[in-house]
Chains A and B, each alone.
Chain A
Amino acid sequence: MAFIEVNGIKMHYITNGEGPDIVMVHGLLGNLAVWHFKIGPALRKAGYRITTLDMRGHGYSEIAPSGYTSEALAADLLALLDALDIESAHILGHSYGADVCMHLALLHPDRVKTLLALEPGLPALVEERKKDHWGGWTYWVGRLKEAGFEVPPEKRTDFRYLLKVSLETPKFYGPARGLPRKRGRLLELINNTSLVSDYEVVGSLTLGAVRKIETPTLLVYGENSYFLGSYEFLREALPNCTPVLLPGGEHFGPLEQPEMIIEHILDFVKC
């Protein structure tokens, strides 16, 4: 296994292939495996060097008590690029990982050739998503119900509670689908670190700052995603943005339709 010391923690990463660099950042409570089923191998075969990483506290990377804001995680990403001697790269992220990538493009534009942002929520819009009527809550509660967990009404917008209950459901994706999750480390991350509160910290990535990100950006959402509010804002605010709505997908749509994503990415990074 490959580890590298970044900002005081041991970070796990995998590098594979040869060619221009594409670096991939998973979302909240995910890990690097999400890229390795279709998207990573296809991009490697198309002639790119692929680097995937486990963010601080996730996967095999070390858990630290703090440092989980998208800005701090972008600093980890920058440190990884430095440590691996990657001068600049195409940076691909999903969900919170895409927020991290956007933060890197804002603060270190010289390191980001293109920004490939799948379903960024944008911390600066988190207040919108905290409202009771936000569709994401209904969707999330519905998914839990399908898995046999009834969420009491007073908990239906409780982020920390829903994260924890979600860990009790069997896995939805991958070869271990239907089997229980290993919850220990993820519970530690939710209970004993600043992750849940850091998720809402805007930092430098204010709504105004987004307008200064000139990096060519591929912005992808599923057409049924409950993050479309962020899509509407970003497609208008990002100065150099190519917006894409995937037919039928939800928040995980871009990962569930890898063939489409691969095609869009390969077209975009070539330009």
Chain B
Amino acid sequence: MEYSRGQVEEEVMGLIKNLAQDWDYSKPITSETLLFSELGFESLDAVVFGTAVQKHFEKQMPFAELLAELGKERRDLSISELVDFVRTQLS
């Protein structure tokens, strides 16, 4: 199945909001929201979220490598960058 960027963003956002229900984050979640410093992701949340994305799109994606890269470069990830990553993996 082909996904447009808009579709991927919508589905990724849906998965995040689903997970974020239990979290202590009250501001609106937009495509610029940062996963770790703003949403308060911990490694566990990132792993669970990565697993949910792969299951949803029925495709193995190199999430572990992505997370390792973020750790090494000490940088955060916005939802928009994440959508780009998923889209690249799906194409």
Contact = CB atoms under 8 A, between A and B. Distances in A.
A36 B74 contact: no
B70 A14 contact: no
Nearest to A58: B44
A60 B44 contact: yes
A175 B70 contact: yes
B71 A177 contact: yes
Interface string A3-42: 0000000000010100000000000000111101110110
B39 to A, nearest CB: 11
A131 interface: no
B36 A38 contact: no
A33 B36 CA distance: 15
A108 interface: no
Given A38-B68, A41-B64, A60 B48 contact: yes
B48 A1 contact: yes
Contacts of B46: 33, 174-176
Contact of B36 (A34, A54, A175): A175
A178 interface: yes
Interface string A185-206: 0000000000000000000000
Q: Is the interface of A mostly helix, strand, loop or mixed?
A: loop
Interface size class of B (residues with CB under 8 A): 20 to 34
Contacts of B43: 31, 33-34, 36-37, 171, 173-176
A182 interface: yes
Contacts of B71: 37, 173-175, 177
Interface of B: 19, 36-37, 40-44, 46-48, 50-52, 62, 64, 67-68, 70-71, 74, 77
Interface of A: 1, 14, 16, 31-34, 36-38, 40-41, 54, 59-60, 171, 173-179, 181-182
Interchain residue pairs A-B with the least CB separation, the first 7: A33-B43, A174-B43, A175-B70, A33-B44, A36-B47, A41-B64, A33-B47
Given A38-B68, A60-B44, A176-B42, 11 more contacts: A1-B52, A16-B51, A36-B43, A36-B50, A37-B64, A60-B48, A175-B36, A175-B67, A175-B71, A176-B43, A182-B40
